[in-house]
């Protein structure tokens, strides 16, 4: 190939290479997690009414001085919440204290969800406006936080909990 042909095709080859690189980077971001800035901070003050009949509401005071807890943000309309329901039930059966915060949900829908998939929660607060979810730095449902016995957020898990999360959860629950 002569020099003139090379100079003609070189910019096009560089453009295609850069475009491919950018597209691959957009397709596979370095991290899909948006970590809460509150990790290491005390949970925000809140008091939520019960999400449905037969359960107690939840407040920040319930998370302080009573040992570590999982705080699980969920909703009856959330498809991934269904997939994590059996994992949460096993965790509760293993003695891990779990409290829930139902996001923008109706009491009858929460009751139906719990009746269908089980209730691993000791308490469930109703966050109709998602204010507490925002205060926690949560970006969606399901999302789970490990809160130590002093009310300090120690771990955040975005998305449904699976067996791959258990080592981190157990370590955070055991940390002082």
- Does the pLDDT at position 81 exceed 80? yes
Q: What is the pTM of this model?
A: 0.79
β-strands 124-127, 47-48 pairing: unpaired
- In 132-159, which positions are buried (b, 16+ CB within 10 angstroms) versus exposed (e)? bbeebbbbebbbbbbbbeebbbbbbbbb
pLDDT of residue 92: 96
Residue spans per domain, the chain: 1-30, 47-174
Among the residues of the chain, which ranges form H helices? Answer: 3-27, 79-93, 107-117, 131-136, 166-174
Q: Tens digits of per-residue pLDDT, 43-66?
A: 999 999 999 999 999 999 999 988
110-158 pLDDT, tens digit per residue, is 999 999 999 999 999 999 999 999 999 888 999 999 999 999 999 999 9
Interval 32-43 mean pLDDT: 74
Q: So what's the pLDDT on residue 27?
A: 61
| Torsion, Cα of 103, 151, 160, 93 (10° steps) | -110
What is the tens place of the pLDDT at every residue in 63-72? 998 899 999 9
CATH node for 47-174: 3.40.30.10
Q: Identify the pLDDT of residue 18.
A: 79
Omega prior to 142 cis, within 30 of 0 = yes
Task: Look at the alpha carbons of 30, 31, 34, 37 in this order and tell me if their dihedral is positive or negative.
Answer: negative
């Amino acid at each position: 190939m002569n020099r003139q042909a090379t100079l003609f095709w070189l910019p096009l080859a560089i453009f295609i290479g850069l475009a491919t690189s950018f597209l691959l980077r957009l397709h596979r971001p370095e991290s899909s997690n948006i970590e809460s800035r509150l990790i290491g901070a005390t949970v925000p003050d809140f008091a939520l009414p019960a999400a449905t009949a037969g359960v107690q509401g939840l407040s920040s005071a319930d998370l302080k001085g009573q040992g570590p807890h999982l705080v699980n943000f969920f909703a009856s309309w959330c498809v991934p919440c269904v997939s994590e329901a059996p994992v949460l039930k096993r965790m509760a059966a293993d003695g891990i204290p779990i409290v829930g915060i139902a996001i923008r949900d109706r009491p009858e829908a929460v009751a139906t969800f719990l009746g269908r998939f089980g209730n691993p929660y000791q308490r469930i607060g109703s966050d109709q406006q998602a204010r507490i979810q925002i205060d926690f730095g949560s970006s969606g449902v399901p999302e789970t936080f490990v809160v130590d016995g002093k009310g300090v957020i120690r771990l955040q898990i975005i998305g449904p909990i699976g067996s791959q999360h258990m080592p981190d959860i157990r370590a955070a629950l055991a940390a002082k």
